[in-house]
């Protein structure tokens, strides 16, 4: 069987609220850790989310 080219990751808020999103990224083309601005519902504003390992 072929191995999938996508990897599940967790995007966790840098503000320390504990909010996270689970998404996937292409493991063949992306070598850097993702950093995205997304909405944090606990703070009710957009903040920076960084990639962490999904346990």
The confidence score (pLDDT) of residue 2 equals 76
**pLDDT score for 20:** 98
Q: How far is CA 29 from CA 7, 18, 33, 45, 52, in A?
A: 11, 28, 12, 30, 18
pLDDT, tens only, 1-55:
778 889 999 999 999 999 999 999 998 898 899 999 999 999 999 999 999 999 8
Of 11, 5, 37, 41, nearest to 23 by C-alpha is 11
CA 19 to centroid of chain Cα atoms = 11
Contact 27, 36 (CB under 8 A): no
Can you give the pLDDT at residue 17? 97
pLDDT at 1: 73
């Amino acid at each position: 069987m072929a191995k999938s080219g996508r990897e599940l990751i967790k995007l966790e808020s840098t503000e320390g609220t504990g909010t996270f999103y689970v998404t996937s990224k292409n493991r063949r083309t992306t070598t850097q850790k993702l950093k995205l601005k997304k909405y944090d519902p606990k703070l009710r504003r957009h903040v920076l989310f960084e990639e962490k390992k999904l346990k």
